[in-house]
Amino acid sequence: MNALEVRGLAFAYPDGLQALFGVNLTVSRGEHVALLGPNGAGKTTLALHLNGVLAAGAGSVHVGGLELNRANLKEIRRRVAIVFQDPDDQLFMPTVQQDVAFGPANLGVTGAELDARIHDALAAAGMTDHAHRPPHHLSYGQRRRVAVATVLAMQPEILVMDEPTSNLDPAAKRELADILQNLDLTMLMVTHDMPYALELCERAVVMNQGTITADGPTHQILSDEPLMRANRLELPYGFDPSFSR
C-alpha cells in the first residue's frame, strides 16, 4: 500500500485563483520526495491538502489507503505531520516540553506514554537539553528543530516539510539534515534549496502553474538544464548535481 495517493486534485482560492489543476501524485512508504518549483507553482497549496488544512475542490487524497474526508480527518492529521516554514507558527506554549506535549495530549495521551513521547521526540530533534526553556529564547534553528519535535510526538507516518532551510545558517541546516536523515518516515519536502533536495531526497517532483511537470530521480531532474530553465529553477553558482551524488 502506498503512503500517499493524490488523484485529480484541483483547488481554487476564494478570490478565484486556480492553484491546482488535477494533480496526481503517488508516494511509496519510506520514500523521500522533494517538491520543487517556482513561487506560485502550487507546492505549498498541495502540501496543505495532505492533512486537510485545505479542502479539495475536486479529486481525492488517500493516506495509507485511508481517504481524507471529514470522518477520517483526525486520524489523517495524526498520520500526516506538517512542519511549517516559520516555526513560530507552531510554537505557542510557555516551554519547549509543553509545546511537544500539546499534540499527543490533545489526542488523549497521558502519563508514562506522554512522557515517553516527549522524551523520544526531543531526543530525535536533538533538543532534550532545552526541554524547560521558553521557545522564544531559542535560536531560529533551534526553534525549527522544536517544531519538528512537536510533530514527531504525534508519531506520524508522513512528514511534510515546507521550506525547511528557510532563514537557517549553514550549521543549522547541517544539524537539521542530520535529524531528517535519521527519521524512519515517508517525507515530502517543499524546497527551493536544490543541494538540500539532492542530499535528502532520492526523488524530485517539479510543479509549475498548478500541475506536475516532471517526476524522477533528483540528480536527473537537477541535471536537466532545459527542464530546470523551463520551470524557473536555478542551481547555486558552481553546484554540480552529478558531482554531488
- What's the rounded mean pLDDT across residues 12-32? 95
Q: What residues make up the domain containing 176? A: 4-230
Q: Is the pLDDT of residue 24 over 70?
A: yes
> Strand 58-63 to strand 4-12: parallel, antiparallel, or no bridges (unpaired)?
antiparallel
- Looking at the structure of the chain, the number of domains it has is 1
Q: Is the pLDDT of residue 169 over 80?
A: yes
- What's the rounded mean pLDDT across residues 41-67? 93
In a domain, 245, yes or no: no
Cell digits of residue 14: 476564494
Q: What is the pLDDT of residue 191?
A: 96
In a domain, 51, yes or no: yes
Q: What is the pLDDT of residue 240?
A: 85
Determine the 3-state secondary structure of 125 from DSSP. coil
Q: What is the pLDDT of residue 30?
A: 95
In a domain, 140, yes or no: yes
In a domain, 242, yes or no: no
Cell digits of residue 104: 499527543
Contacts (Cβ under 8 Å, ≥6 apart) of 15: none
Q: Where does residue 114 rank: exposed (0-12), middle (13-18), buried (19+ CB within 10 A)? A: middle
In a domain, 241, yes or no: no
Q: What is the pLDDT of residue 238?
A: 83
Q: Which residues pair with 11 in a beta bridge?
A: 20
d(CA 99, CA 150): 6
Q: Is the pLDDT of residue 199 over 80?
A: yes
Q: Is the pLDDT of residue 245 over 80?
A: no
In a domain, 238, yes or no: no
Place of cell 507553482: 41
Q: Is the pLDDT of residue 223 over 90?
A: yes
Q: What is the pLDDT of residue 56?
A: 85
In a domain, 201, yes or no: yes
pLDDT band at 243 (very low <50, low <70, confident <90, very high): low
- List the CATH number of the domain containing 69: 3.40.50.300
- Beta strands, E only, 75-233: 80-83, 158-162, 186-190, 203-208, 211-217
In a domain, 236, yes or no: no
Q: What is the pLDDT of residue 29?
A: 95
